[in-house]
Amino acid sequence: MKAACRGYGVLEFLISVALIGVVMLVLLERVDFYRETAEKTSMEQVSREIGWALRLRAAELMLANRNDEIGRMDGANPVVAVDMQLAGYAGAGPSAAEAAVPPGRWFFNREKRELVYFPALTSNFVSESGARPRVAWRVVVVSQAGQPGGRPRPQWVRFELVQPYRWFEPPK
């Protein structure tokens, strides 16, 4: 007696294709979530590195007794001020040039004196401005009161967030 050879039926094939499709859909959604998380982490790490580089530059100037040069850093382009090579830096220009900056790039707005990052993946990003998704920082010089009747003396530098945002956080 011959054994009956049985292959897969059409219904079984369609069910397996549907299951594979559902698994791929879930996987792609998670991949997008992790890509956006990686972009957020990268942006925040770069901003911390810029802040530390500015502080180190201010410390160098203080040690050399060149505090007046710290004062000139107020509102300066931090990429130029610390001579930093920044991946994805699109340059500097006026506010009108921001529209031409592609997502995922850094740009220094000369008019507002802000270093701006334009996120590429924004499904979980909320900007306070409501316009194009952006995050902006500014170099701020902290001054110490000098002698009575004298002018304040530049003492320190902060890299301050000026364009608030929420990324992966519930609305407040």
Q: Each residue of 124-160: pLDDT tens digit?
A: 888 776 678 999 999 999 887 666 766 777 778 999 9
Averaged pLDDT, 30-45 = 92
**Model pLDDT for residues 112-123, shown as the tens digit of each residue:** 999 999 999 988
Which run of H or of E encompasses 167? strand 165-167
- Please give the pLDDT value at position 38: 94
pLDDT attached to residue 1: 56
Beta-strand runs (E) in 25-152: 89-93, 105-109, 114-118, 125-127, 135-144
Between CA 105 and CA 88 the distance in angstroms is 5
* Element holding 165 (H helix, E strand): strand 165-167
- Domain layout of the chain by residue ranges: 10-167
Q: Is residue 26 scored above 90 in pLDDT?
A: no
Residue scoring higher pLDDT (166 or 51): 51
The pLDDT, as a whole number, for residue 120 is 94
Provide the pLDDT confidence category of residue 4 given band limits of 50, 70 and 90.
low
**pTM value?**
0.79
Which helix (H) or strand (E) covers residue 38, if one does?
helix 10-63
Q: Is pLDDT above 70 for 13?
A: yes
Please give the backbone phi and psi of residue 31, each rounded to the nearest 5 degrees, phi first: -65, -45
Burial of 58 (0-12, 13-18, 19+ CB in 10 A): buried
Higher pLDDT, 158 or 9: 158
